[in-house]
C-alpha cells in the first residue's frame, strides 16, 4: 500500500496556484483506509447496517465518517458514497472537511448519519487501540501506526510493514462473525491496493 501511495503521489498531475505549481493531490494512508473500508462494506452489505429503536436499517452506500480532533473533542465528518469515489476525490474531500471541522464550519448534514467510521491514531505513534462506536454507526475501525515488524514468510523471518486495526461493532447489527468477514474484505483491499483503483 505504501509503495502504491508513493507511486500515485509521484505521478500526480501538477496544477498552477498563486504559490506556484503544486501536485493536484497528495494521498494519505487514511485516504486509502477510507476507500478500503467503503469497498469492504460494499462487498459485505450485511455489515453496512444501523440499529434503531424500531428496526435495523440496511444502507445502500458506504458513508464513512472520519474522526477529526477539534478543540473540546472529536467530530466525524462523513465521506458520502465513498465506495464510488476515487482516491484523489476522497483525499480532496477529506482535506476540505477536516479543515472546516477544525474551524467549526461544517453543516449538520456533513457530520450527521453515516454508516461506519474510521479513527486513525497512527500518526501519533499509537500501535493499536479500540474505538468507541458513534451511533447510528454499527462499526468503527481503529487504525494504528504502520511499523516494521518481523514476520514469517515461507518458513523464513522477514521484515514487513504491518498496520494494526481493530474493529468495534454493535452486536445487535454486526456480530463477531460478520465483523470478521468485513475485516477480511478490508484486509484484502489493504494488502492488494491496486484493486481499489478499478
pLDDT band at 174 (very low <50, low <70, confident <90, very high): very high
Contacts for 87-90: CB closer than 8 Å, 24+ residues apart: 87/8, 87/27, 87/31, 87/32, 87/35, 87/196, 87/197, 88/12, 88/24, 88/25, 88/27, 90/31, 90/34, 90/35
Boundaries of every domain in the chain: 28-196
Convert the pLDDT of each residue in 83-119 to its tens digit.
999 999 999 999 999 999 999 999 999 999 999 999 9
Q: How far is CA 124 from the centre of its chain?
A: 16
Active site residues per annotation: 171
Select the CATH number that applies to the domain covering 28-196 from these four: 3.40.1260.10, 3.40.1130.10, 3.40.1790.10, 3.30.559.10.
Answer: 3.30.559.10
Q: How far apart are the C-alpha atoms of 198 and 11, rounded to whole Å?
A: 17
First to last CA, the chain: 15
Q: What are phi and psi of 112, to 5 degrees?
A: -100, 145
Sign, Cα dihedral of 170, 72, 111, 82: negative
Cell triple for 30: 487514511
* Per-residue pLDDT at 139 exceeds 90: yes
Q: How many CB atoms lie within 10 A of CB 127?
A: 14
Express each pLDDT in 17-59 by its tens digit: 888 889 999 999 999 999 999 999 999 999 999 998 898 999 9
Give, to the nearest 10 degrees, the angle between helix 29-43 and helix 87-102.
110
Average model confidence (pLDDT) for the chain?
Answer: 95
Phi, psi torsion values for 146, nearest 5 degrees: -80, 140
109-120: b (≥16 Cβ within 10 Å) or e:
ebbeebbbbbbb
CA 118 – CA 65 distance, rounded (Å): 6
Amino acid at each position: 500500500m505504501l509503495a502504491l501511495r508513493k507511486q500515485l503521489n509521484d505521478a500526480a498531475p501538477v496544477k498552477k496556484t498563486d504559490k506556484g505549481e503544486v501536485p493536484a493531490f497528495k494521498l494519505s494512508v487514511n485516504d486509502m483506509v477510507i476507500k478500503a473500508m467503503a469497498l469492504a462494506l460494499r462487498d459485505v452489505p450485511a455489515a453496512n447496517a444501523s440499529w434503531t429503536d424500531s428496526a435495523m436499517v440496511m444502507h445502500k452506500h458506504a458513508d464513512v465518517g472520519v474522526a477529526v480532533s477539534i478543540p473540546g473533542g472529536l467530530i466525524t465528518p462523513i465521506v458520502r458514497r465513498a465506495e464510488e469515489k476515487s482516491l484523489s476525490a476522497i483525499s480532496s474531500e477529506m482535506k476540505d472537511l477536516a479543515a472546516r471541522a477544525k474551524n467549526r464550519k461544517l453543516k449538520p448534514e456533513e457530520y450527521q448519519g453515516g454508516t461506519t467510521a474510521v479513527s486513525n491514531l497512527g500518526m501519533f505513534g499509537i500501535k493499536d487501540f479500540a474505538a468507541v462506536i458513534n451511533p447510528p454507526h454499527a462499526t468503527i475501525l481503529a487504525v494504528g501506526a504502520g511499523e516494521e515488524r518481523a514476520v514469517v514468510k515461507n518458513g523464513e523471518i522477514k521484515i514487513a510493514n504491518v498496520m494494526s486495526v481493530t474493529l468495534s461493532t454493535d452486536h445487535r447489527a454486526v456480530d463477531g462473525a460478520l465483523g470478521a468477514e468485513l475485516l477480511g474484505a478490508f484486509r484484502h483491499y489493504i494488502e492488494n491496493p491496486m484493486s481499489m483503483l478499478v
